[in-house]
Structure 1
Amino acid sequence: MAISYEELTTKHPCFARGEKNGSGRIHLPISPSCNIECRFCERSFNNYEIRPGVSRTVITPEEALDAIRRALEVCPDIHVAGIAGPGDTLASPYALETFKLIKEEYPELVKCMSTNGLLLAEKAQEILDVGIDSLTVTVNAVDPEIEAKLNDGIIWHGKHYTGVEAAKILIEQQLKGIKILSDAGMTLKVNTVFVPEINGDHIEEVARTVAEAGATIYNIIPLIPNHKLKDCREPDCVELERVILKASKYIDVFRHCQRCRADAVGIPGGKDYGEEIYQNLQRLTRKDTFSHG
C-alpha cells in the first residue's frame, strides 16, 4: 500500500508544507526514450543546465542501486528515490525494473516516478505492483486544441499521431490513468508547464479537471523558453501568482518547485551531489540516444 499524503509531506520535498522539510532525493536517470514530442522540451546530456530533461548520463537498473548506496553515504537525509527521465519513465521498461529492485533493496525509501501519462492507464497495475508511493503526471492542457500547440505528436502502439488527434489520445489516457491510480490509493501530483501565450488562461480548467480525476497536489512550472518555444516568454511572478490563486480553488498547489535535473541528488536548494554520484557513469553524451518509439 502506498504511503499517505500526510506522510509524504514529511519525507518528500515536493510535498513539503512551507518552503522545505529537509528531505533529500536522488533522481535516477534511467529512462532514455520518450513517446511524445513536447514543443518546449529538448533533452540534453550536460552538467550545467538546471532543468528537467537534462542528465549527465543514462544508467542501468543495476547501476541505480549502487548510485543510491553512494548517495546515502554522502547525504543521509535522502528519503526519496525518484525517476523523472531524462525521457519518459513508461516509454521503456527500465524505470519499473529499477523500482522493483529498490523495493527489495531499499524498502525504506519513498519511490517516486514522473511520467507524461500516455501509457499510465495501461501500466497502472505494474506501477502498483512495484510499490511506487507517489506519481507525478505532466498535464499541460485538457483542451486538445491547446495541447496541440504544446505537443507536436505522440507514438502510441507503434503509430505516430499528430496535432489535435494526438492531443485527444494523450489527454484521455492521462485522465484515465490518474483516475485508476487515485482510486487505488496512490498520491498523485500533476505538473503543468505554464506558457502564458498558449495555456495561461486554461490552467484553472486543468486544475479543476485533474482534481476531479483524483490528483492531490498541483505544480505550475513556469516555461523555460527552449526548443520550438524558445521565442515564448517565461511568465513573471505576478502572472504565476495569479494562476496559482485560480488553481488553488480546486487543489493544493505546490509553490517551491526547483525544476530539477533528471540526475539531481541531495536536498533541493542545497548542495547537489549529482556530479559526485554519476561521474564514473558518464558514457552517454549524444542527443540521438533518445528515440521517439
Structure 2
Amino acid sequence: MDCQVASSETKMPMAATMLEKTQKHPCYSFDAHQKFARMHLPVAPYCNLSCNYCNRKFDCVNESRPGVTSEILTPQAAKNKFDKVSAQIEQLSVIGIAGPGDALADWENTRETIRLIRAENPQIVFCLSTNGLLLPEYAQDIVQLGVTHVTVTVNCIDSAIGAEIYKHINFKGQHYEGETGVKILIENQLAGIALLIGLGIVVKINIVMLKGINDQHIPEVVKKMKELGVYITNIMPLIPAPGSAFENFPQTPIKDVNEMRDLCELDVRQMRHCKQCRADAIGLLGKDRSQEFRDHLPQVLQKVLGCGVLTV
C-alpha cells in the first residue's frame, strides 16, 4: 500500500489548487520537508486548556518542542519579521501560527497577522494549529481568511481518558474540570473538524502518545479521524516538559511510536518526519534558523510575558 494514499483521499478528492499547496507544506508532505521552509509566528500566547504535558513558561533556545518561544510578537511585528525572513529564505512557502498558546484563543492577533501578510503575499500558504475547542465558532472565519491547512491536537475521544490528560478548560467564560470539561472539548473538536473538512480545509491531527494513558486508545482515535476525512495524522512521543504535571513521566520510546504509526497507517496516512517544532521555528524541518532572526533586546521595546518576550 502506498503510504502517501489513504482511503479518506478517495472518499474526498482534493482540489488541484489545494493539492498544489499541500505539496509545498513541509508538515503535510514528506517530499516537501527538505525543499520548502515554514515560519511559525508566535502571536498567540494565551490558551484555554491546561494540559498535563505542557508548560509554556519554559524556554530554551536549544530546545525543540511545541509551545516554546523566545518572544511574543504583535501582528505588525510578525509582519515585519516575515518580510525580513522571506527576503532571505527563498523556499519559504508556509506561515504557521502554532501558539505558543492556542491560535483560536488569541483570535484577534491571529486574524490580524494573517490579514497583514496576505495583503502583500497571496501566494503564501497559511496554516493554524489549535486544540479545537473554538473550532465550531471560527471555522467560517478561518476559510474566509484564506487559511487552507489546520492542525488539531486530538489526544482522545473518551472523556475518562481525557480527564487524565487535561486539568481544566476555559470555555465561554466558564471553568470546567474533569470529564465535564473534556466532554465539551471532544464534542467541539469533532464538530469543528467536520466543519473544516466540509469547507475544503486540509486537516492534520496531532496525537501525543502517553504510555499507560492513551496509547491503547490511539487506534480508535485514528479510526474516528478517518471517518471524518482527515488528510494525515501525526502520532508524537511525549517530551516531558519541566514544570508540567508530567515532567517526570517517561518520554515515549520512538520504537513504540513507530509501531503505532504502522498500525494506524492502515486507516490514515501517517506523518513520520515531525520535529515537534517550536512556536517560533523558521526554516526547513530539522534545521531551525530562528536564532538568526531574533531581535536584540536593545533594538525593540520588550515586556516579559510568561513564556517569552513581547515585541511590539
TM-score between the two structures when normalised by the length of structure 1: 0.93
Is the CA contact 1:32–1:289 (under 8 Å) kept in the aligned structure 2? no
Task: Give the match for residue 177 of structure 2.
Answer: 162
Show structure 1 runs of 5+ residues with no match. Answer: none
Q: State the Cα distance separating 1:288 from its structure 2 match.
A: 7.2
Q: State the Cα distance separating 1:18 from its structure 2 match.
A: 4.7
Distance 1:46 1:117 in 2: 27
SS at match of 2:212: helix
Q: State the Cα distance separating 1:214 from its structure 2 match.
A: 2.5
Distance 2:196 2:33 in 1: 27
* Equivalent residues in 2 for 1:205-244, closer than 5 Å: 205-226=220-241, 227-244=244-261
| 1:69 maps to which of 65, 75, 83 | 83
Show structure 2 runs of 5+ residues with no match. Answer: 1-13
Say whether 1:183 aligns with 2:198: yes
Distance 1:195 1:282 in 2: 40
* Equivalent residues in 2 for 1:68-87, closer than 5 Å: 68-87=82-101
Say whether 1:174 aligns with 2:179: no
Task: Give the match for residue 37 of structure 2.
Answer: 24
* Equivalent residues in 2 for 1:35-46, closer than 5 Å: 35-44=48-57, 45-46=59-60
SS at match of 2:176: strand
Task: Give the match for residue 7 of structure 1.
Answer: 20
Distance 2:78 2:122 in 1: 14
SS at match of 1:201: helix
Paired AA for residue 59 in structure 1: L
SS at match of 2:245: helix
Distance 2:259 2:206 in 1: 17
CA RMSD of aligned residues (A): 2.0
Task: Give the match for residue 196 of structure 1.
Answer: 211
Paired AA for residue 306 in structure 2: K
Is the CA contact 2:69–2:100 (under 8 Å) kept in the aligned structure 1? yes
Cα distance 1:17–1:111, how it changes in 2: closer, same or farther (>3 A)? same
Say whether 1:251 aligns with 2:265: no
How many residues are treated as equivalent by the alignment?
A: 289
* Equivalent residues in 2 for 1:242-281, closer than 5 Å: 242-270=259-287, 272-280=288-296
Task: Give the match for residue 287 of structure 1.
Answer: 306
Is the CA contact 2:25–2:32 (under 8 Å) kept in the aligned structure 1? no
Cα distance 1:69–1:127, how it changes in 2: closer, same or farther (>3 A)? same
- Offset from partner CA, 1:41-97 (integer Å, 9 cap, x none): 000344232111011111111111111111112211111011000010111221122
Q: State the Cα distance separating 1:284 from its structure 2 match.
A: 4.0
Paired AA for residue 265 in structure 2: S
Say whether 1:130 aligns with 2:145: yes
- Offset from partner CA, 1:180-237 (integer Å, 9 cap, x none): 0101111000000111121110110111112212311100110001211122212213
Cα distance 1:33–1:111, how it changes in 2: closer, same or farther (>3 A)? same
Is the CA contact 1:112–1:134 (under 8 Å) kept in the aligned structure 2? yes
